[in-house]
Structure 1
Amino acid sequence: MKTSFTPGSPHRARKRFGQNFLVDHGVIHRIASAIRPRPGETLVEIGPGQGALTEPLVASAETLHVIELDRDLVPWLRVRFDKYPGFTLHQADALKFDFAELGSADKPLRIVGNLPYNISTPLIFHLISFADKVQDMHFMLQKEVVKRLAACPGEKAFGRLSVMVQYYCRVEPLFDVPPGSFDPAPKVDSAIVRITPYRELPHTVGNIKTLEKLVTAAFGQRRKTLRNALKTLLDVTDMDDLPVDISKRAEQLTMAEFIALSDAIDERLKNSQNNAHD
């Protein structure tokens, strides 16, 4: 039976929400120092939980939006933070939230969150779709996810997440956070990462959908060469004279090579379609 919620009472972390509440004050201070909210900025915190990080953020930020899915936490957060004039709480699912409502290109958002491990990757992809309205993002993630985000070509962790996030953003791992910093303690190490969308993309692809398909296909069969992986995109007869050595594996390609290969594939797909109509 569900018990009634009394503001001030302890809230048990829920496994279905992937909740692990940050309780280490040293880590909280270090994260807040890395973010350094400034007057006039709009901050968004995803999954404030029990408000450990909300406290230092709302004290410094002129405007702070928090997005919390767990309805049982909402009354407690309101009691604690509604006294701040710039505080707004949204009881919502961040995976479906329209972040464009909160920010603009002229006043971009600074997004913060201790992200549940089970939704971290889809949530990051969702947030990247609003990259032109985001100044930066600071996330607590599983350490392995941070490694994948920041990985370079040739590294074991380099994959679809690395390529697609690094196409839009600069990724900076900041510091590790041990399991004992949380209640309950997770079974994995965590890390803080800063993700900063580029104002001007260092590489521009002709068709982003083709790049997404290429990256998905290439890393979907990591042990195979690109020649084998590309069979889902191109006819074998269209694989001659591509600008990249397709005897390589996906993790060996640089961002520039992925862009060049994507543009070449896109051109050949267009030619095939045109020939089919002739």
Structure 2
Amino acid sequence: MTQNRLSISDPIRTNDIMRKYKLRAKKSLGQNFLTSEKVLDDIVDASQLQPDEIAIEIGPGIGALTEKLAQVAEHVYAFEIDENLIPVLHDTLSYYDNIDVINQDILDVDLDKFVKDHDLEGKTIKVVANLPYYITTPIMLNLINSDYPFKALVLMMQKEVAQRITAKPGHREYGSLTIGVQTRMATRIDRIVGKNSFIPRPKVDSAVVVLERLDHENEGITDLKYFNKLIRSAFAQKRKSLMNNLLNWQGRNDDTRAKLKQVFTDCGIEDNARAEQLSIEQFKKMATELQATFKK
């Protein structure tokens, strides 16, 4: 049934759909329609979706990725914020009976309640999406920190953001976002996607990132709120040393400096170290030591 039609991602069909519905990509919503079937197939492959698994998509656009997901997953729930695209999606995806298109901002969705309301508890759920650049980080963090433990997130995003969340200690992109993600998820870049794969063409390249839930997320963090305060403070001014940033946080005086120097020594950290040089494990140990020291 589907073999004799051009895929939605085919540039000819994409342009036909856009002409038929007089569509223009909305810059305000970060809309760029993916027109590379190879990239779409790679995204689905990276998700390792199985026939008994559920896919949640964010920002389906005109349905190019949605179509690919529906051919593999048991069911696809596609959240689209642009109400003008809802009738388009109902048309382009009319051949599939395992897709629900939902006109709602994913940031307004109680994901745990959504899972319960749709009888998805116990199902393996993966989020697969081509995210708008302007709101990538809030959506990603909302998914990671939601009550429902999604098995994996396969997200296409701006290459620069992908490099930040997959960075290693010592890399210039390593920062608070890196740590906020990597304490809960294993991260890797699956592939780089050139700007020519989209209509309209964005100004920068993209990357497909795979994030998989760690078996023991936040392991070694005894007080998550305090740990997050440490991370924010440590990277508050990246050009300053870690010591200077922590003095700004704890109080710039001789007593505080002496206590910090002792914590640095206990954690095996040089006095002139910068935050981007520390591993996540070192930050975990430092958080425990700092909290004990400054409660005395």
Identify whether the pair has TM-score above 0.5, normalized to the shorter chain: yes
For residue 121 of structure 1, what is the amino acid of its counterpart?
Answer: T
Contact 2:55 2:73 in 1 (8 A): yes
Contact 2:170 2:277 in 1 (8 A): yes
- 2:93 is aligned to 81
| Shift in Å, 1:131 | 6.6
Cα distance in 2 for partners of 1:27, 1:158 equals: 27
- The answer as to 2:128 corresponding to 1:112 is yes
Q: Which of residues 127, 140, 144 is equivalent to 1:128?
A: 144
Percent identity over paired residues: 33
Cα distance in 2 for partners of 1:165, 1:185 equals: 29
Calculate the TM-score normalised by the size of structure 1.
Answer: 0.89
Contact 1:146 1:193 in 2 (8 A): yes
SS of the residue corresponding to residue 139 of structure 1 reads strand
Cα distance in 1 for partners of 2:285, 2:108 equals: 33
Contact 1:149 1:162 in 2 (8 A): yes
Superposed counterparts of 1:1-278, under 5 Å: 8-81=20-93, 84-103=96-115, 106-130=122-146, 132-201=148-217, 203-235=219-251, 236=253, 237-238=255-256, 239-240=259-260, 241-242=262-263, 243-244=266-267, 245=269, 246-269=271-294, 271=295
- RMSD of the alignment, in Å? 2.2
Cα distance in 2 for partners of 1:203, 1:154 equals: 22
| Shift in Å, 1:31 | 1.6
- 2:12 is aligned to none
| Shift in Å, 1:80 | 2.9
SS of the residue corresponding to residue 118 of structure 1 reads helix
Range with bigger deviation, 121-130 or 163-172: 121-130
Contact 1:132 1:197 in 2 (8 A): no
Residues 231-255 of structure 1: CA deviation (Å, up to 9, x unaligned)? 3432343434213334311000001
SS of the residue corresponding to residue 155 of structure 1 reads coil
Cα distance in 1 for partners of 2:41, 2:159 equals: 19
Cα distance in 2 for partners of 1:7, 1:196 equals: 39
For residue 50 of structure 1, what is the amino acid of its counterpart?
Answer: I
Calculate the TM-score normalised by the size of structure 2.
Answer: 0.83
> Which residues of structure 1 form unaligned runs of 5+?
1-5, 273-278
> Which residues of structure 2 form unaligned runs of 5+?
1-17
Cα distance in 1 for partners of 2:61, 2:168 equals: 33
